[in-house]
């Protein structure tokens, strides 16, 4: 097998993470996967070594313009571009190319949701890149187009899905999710400066206004007999990587902690990247940093009649780049876990 891969937006955080993972992929190490065009917009003409010295294997490579011409001729094209830039490129790449989009352009099935939360024309939807959602893995094995999910929806969906699908909760979710600054991408923004973020916590896009809200509802609704509602507020923290989501929902009548525990362990028993932690151990962002894992814990608050779910992941790995490589593996018929680390960086 010979696989030629291009990365558009290679100098962004998502593109850099995809490259980091590809460079440790067994197919790359065996000489079967080749890294082709690396494209960027403002960095065209510069070397990888000067922009991303953490990728020494590619230090002599030059960043080229993000054009369809530079991306054609590859077996796989990863699109690590801002929202609204992927759709046209995706249309112009042939049906034989596996195109994996890390932006939001093709995530939403409902056109009205797109118009409510994003600008520009609705481009349609592609198979959705959370393989752990029942039914998705089969679609991803047969596709040439993948919409990588948002990092918040991945955390919240995988944290909540066992409870929703087993009817353990009323699907009225209240979510607070703490995130690091890399989730906003590599762009100049005063609110993301070190002086603005260090020693500071700030909520933003509160209660249903964040763009990822309809994506979370879309993911959970097929598994619930009742209408799913989500009140979601993210909090920006002085972290480089990581998301910790705390999800609270009313318990269904008669549900106890043993039922909850059994449902979660059964749901994720065969899922390599979903780790239901031992009782009493809470998810921590440092334990998933650099890994493709989601760490999950549940707590039954009997007095309040609530299920409290904690879930943590690395927004750049399982939340973006790792999900993209995981989907590539499935679509190409490779081992799904190939090149994807389970061990995090701790401390």
Catalytic positions, please?
Answer: 151
Q: What residues contact residue 5 under an 8 Å CB cut-off, 6+ apart?
A: 22, 33, 34, 35, 36, 74, 75, 76, 77, 78
Q: How many whole angstroms separate alpha carbon 158 and alpha carbon 132?
A: 8
User: What is the rounded distance in angstroms from the CA atom of residue 34 to the CA atom of residue 22?
Assistant: 9
Cα 211 to Cα 120: distance, rounded to the nearest angstrom: 14
CB distance 291 to 221 below 8 Å:
no
SS3 325: helix
Cα–Cα distance measured from residue 293 to residue 268, given in angstroms and rounded to the nearest whole number: 12
Cα(323)–Cα(132) distance, integer angstroms: 11
| Nearest Cα residue to 326 out of 336, 316, 311, 341 | 336
Residue 187: other Cβ atoms inside 10 A: 9
Given phi > 0 = left and psi -120 to 50 = alpha, else beta, which region is 305?
left
Q: How many CB atoms within 10 Å of residue 114?
A: 23
3-state secondary structure of 37: strand
Phi, psi of 186 (to 5 degrees): -95, 85
To the nearest 10°, report the CA torsion of 233, 285, 192, 189: -80
């Amino acid at each position: 097998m010979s696989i030629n891969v291009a990365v558009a937006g290679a100098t962004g955080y998502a593109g850099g993470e995809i490259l980091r993972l590809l460079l440790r992929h067994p197919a790359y190490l065996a000489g079967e996967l080749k890294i082709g065009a690396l494209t960027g917009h403002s960095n065209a003409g510069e070397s990888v070594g000067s922009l991303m010295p953490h990728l020494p294997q590619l230090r002599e490579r030059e960043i080229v313009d993000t054009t369809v011409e530079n991306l054609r001729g590859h077996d796989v094209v990863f699109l690590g571009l801002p929202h609204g830039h992927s759709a046209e490129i995706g249309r112009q790449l042939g049906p034989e190319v596996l195109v994996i989009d890390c932006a939001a352009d093709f995530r939403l099935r409902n056109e009205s949701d797109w118009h409510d939360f994003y600008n520009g024309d609705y481009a349609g939807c592609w198979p959705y890149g959370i393989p752990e959602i029942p039914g998705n893995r089969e679609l991803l094995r047969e596709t040439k187009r993948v919409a990588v999910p948002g990092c918040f929806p991945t955390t919240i969906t995988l944290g909540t899905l066992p409870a929703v699908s087993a009817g353990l909760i009323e699907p009225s979710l209240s979510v607070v999710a703490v995130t690091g600054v890399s989730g906003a991408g590599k762009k100049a923004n005063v609110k993301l400066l070190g002086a603005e973020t260090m020693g500071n916590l700030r909520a933003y896009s509160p209660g249903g206004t964040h763009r990822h809200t309809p994506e979370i509802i879309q993911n959970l609704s097929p598994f619930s007999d009742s209408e799913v509602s989500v009140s979601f507020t993210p909090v920006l923290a002085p972290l480089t990587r990581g998301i910790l989501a705390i999800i609270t929902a009313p318990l269904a009548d008669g549900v106890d902690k043993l039922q909850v525990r059994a449902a979660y362990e059964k749901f994720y028993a065969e899922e390599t990247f979903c780790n239901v932690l031992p009782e009493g151990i809470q998810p921590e962002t440092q334990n998933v940093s650099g890994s493709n894992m989601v760490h999950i814990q549940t707590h039954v608050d009997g007095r309040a009649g609530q299920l409290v779910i904690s879930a943590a992941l690395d927004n750049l790995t399982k939340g973006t780049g790792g999900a993209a490589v995981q989907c590539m593996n499935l679509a190409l018929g490779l081992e799904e876990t190939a090149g994807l680390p389970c061990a995090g960086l701790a401390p």
